Structure 1
Amino acid sequence: MGTTATNVSEHLIETKRRRFTYTEVVEMTKNFQKALGEGGFGVVYHGYLNDSDQLAVKVLSQSSSQGYKHFKAEVELLLRVHHINLVSLVGYCDERDHLALIYEYMPNGDLKEHLSGKLGHSVLKWTTRLRIAVDAALGLEYLHYGCRPSMVHRDVKSTNILLDDQFMAKIADFGLSRSFQVGDEPEVSTVVAGTPGYLDPEYYRTGRLTEMSDVYSFGIVLLEIITNLKVIDQNREKPHITEWVACLLNGGDITRIVDPNLQGEYNSLSFSLESS
């Protein structure tokens, strides 16, 4: 798993965020009692700090496809950035074979869950969708232009946009993020990273990474927000969401791409602006 490498903490600037022991991680999750979800890194568990503040604890699994490199990248990034639309890092655990990232808890889960109607969630109102889109855009703007050096997220997607108790959106999962000097020549990435369907075709074709790679992925998220469709669906005549939307727009019927669950309750002016 690569955890024999030098501990992350030896390379980090001093911070108020805490380094936790594995024993503390076990205690805060009540021995990993409640799982919130699972990704490439491992399982995310519900936890508590001081028996009051709720946490999300992401624990690296032994079979993780991401491993120590992405763990280190995410810790280093989140220790030096702070924005209201980025999920905050509370602390981390780097103890021999035990790696964990401890975040603020986002009680309303991710955007994808709410669009898909999983867990019995009510339909997201149009105004809420617009606010989520703006929140996510502000988080990306900070990564691209507010950080020094700037950052490219490389995995912007609806499952990485989390919602707090007021449905404020925050971008999460920075294991694939890379530093990037805005204005310089595009960086050549030896390994194209991201999620199929959200990947910028230009980045995929050339391997040249710029902030526009995130902008493309964010555009796909906007189409999800508007249509409530899968990004890739082999049962559609046009499998990719961009092809499907383009086909309908070329036919002149812009309203057909709107999520029917909204039952016409949307602002056509804002919709036309997003679609332009």
Structure 2
Amino acid sequence: MTNNFQTALGEGGFGIVYHGYLNGSEEVAVKVELLLRVHHINLVSLVGYCDERGHLALIYEYMSNVDLKHHLSGKHDISVLKWSTRLRIALDAALGLEYLHIGCRPSMVHRDVKSTNILLDQQLTAKIADFGLSRSFQLGDESHISTVVAGTPGYLDPETGRLAEMSDVYSFGIVLLEILTNQRVIDQNREKPHITEWVAFVLNRGDIARIMDPSLRGDYDSTSVWKALELAMSCANPSSQRRPNMSQVISGLKECLTSENLMRSKKQDVDSDSSLEMTINFDTNVFPSAR
């Protein structure tokens, strides 16, 4: 179409624009974006594509453990994700988004971050998928203002109309609230339909126990939970200026994970001490004392 990219017309947010011909006659401008340039351990990799005899396909790496939403639903006879595992999944997804925002040149905004777009591999490593709505923009370039609303209801930034990384941060905050609560993002049968409103409503009533996913059965460090909850609500702040960037989100999640791991380490030490005490008592009772 472009005669091997012979004539460049210019360069925009999507990449270089080339002069070409459609069906050998109609002149067109072709914008070229190389998806293969997006490569990160926490992004689903594009392996290749197929364009043969009308068959069009994009080929991605296989993710054997489906998606985050699948595991949170509890409907597929699968084990409950531990709190520490959920934190690692959130951290993986945050690292992927940070790469899109500051690791890519030009930067990219995903625009459809949600729990069904966070896929899990065999080791439950999380990778962000579905770049169908993604857009590129140059840092400091005001041309990335957009009037087209893109994304999924419930995850959409209240400050619509602007293509910016803070929209992804808002959506990520909603995902983090899902991880914490295992509640639907929008549920008309709740006191407050949207998950952010519901969490704020429950917090104001002091009913903390209702917020966390009951399937966790309280098996988590309260400090890490509070940090994660505060972080999630900060990401989902209606004002984009009050939201953290993804680098700050990553720092916060690492603190949560450190707190959780420290609690588990102390718990294991206590269990080991208790086990040792039982063994000593057992030995003393079974073997008679010397006379």
TM-score relative to the length of structure 1 = 0.70
CA RMSD of aligned residues (A): 2.1
Aligned counterpart, 1:119:
76
1:90 match: secondary structure: strand
Please say if 1:252 is aligned against 2:206: yes
Q: Mapping of 1:49-128 within 5 angstroms? A: 76=33, 78-128=35-85
**Whole-Å Cα distance in 1 between the matches of residues 209 and 109 of structure 2?**
33
Change (3 A) 1:143 1:10: farther
- What letter corresponds to residue 266 of structure 1 in structure 2? Y
**Whole-Å Cα distance in 2 between the matches of residues 10 and 238 of structure 1?**
56
Please say if 1:263 is aligned against 2:254: no
2:193 match: secondary structure: coil
Q: How many residues align?
A: 206
**Whole-Å Cα distance in 2 between the matches of residues 243 and 77 of structure 1?**
40
The answer (yes or no) to whether the contact 2:42–2:96 under 8 Å persists in 1 is: yes
Please say if 1:134 is aligned against 2:88: no
The answer (yes or no) to whether the contact 2:186–2:194 under 8 Å persists in 1 is: yes
Aligned counterpart, 2:141:
184
Please say if 1:221 is aligned against 2:175: yes
The answer (yes or no) to whether the contact 2:180–2:229 under 8 Å persists in 1 is: no
The answer (yes or no) to whether the contact 1:186–1:208 under 8 Å persists in 2 is: no
Q: Deviations over 1:148-199 (max 9, x none)?
A: 0000000000000000000000000001000022333372213211000000
Q: Deviations over 1:79-127 (max 9, x none)?
A: 1111000001111112353211111111000000000023211111000
Structure of greater Rg:
2
Aligned counterpart, 1:61:
none
Aligned counterpart, 1:232:
186
The answer (yes or no) to whether the contact 1:87–1:104 under 8 Å persists in 2 is: yes
Gaps of 5+ in 1: 1-5, 12-71
Change (3 A) 1:76 1:187: closer
Change (3 A) 1:243 1:83: same
Q: Deviations over 1:3-57 (max 9, x none)?
A: xxx59x966xxxxxxxxxxxxxxxxxxxxxxxxxxxxxxxxxxxxxxxxxxxxxx
Please say if 1:243 is aligned against 2:197: yes
TM-score relative to the length of structure 2 = 0.67
* TM superposition shift of 1:234: 1.1
Q: Deviations over 1:231-276 (max 9, x none)?
A: 0111112111111001011122333200000000112111111122
1:118 match: secondary structure: coil
1:91 match: secondary structure: strand
2:142 match: secondary structure: coil
Gaps of 5+ in 2: 6-29, 231-291
**Whole-Å Cα distance in 1 between the matches of residues 205 and 197 of structure 2?**
12
Please say if 1:145 is aligned against 2:102: yes
Aligned counterpart, 2:166:
212
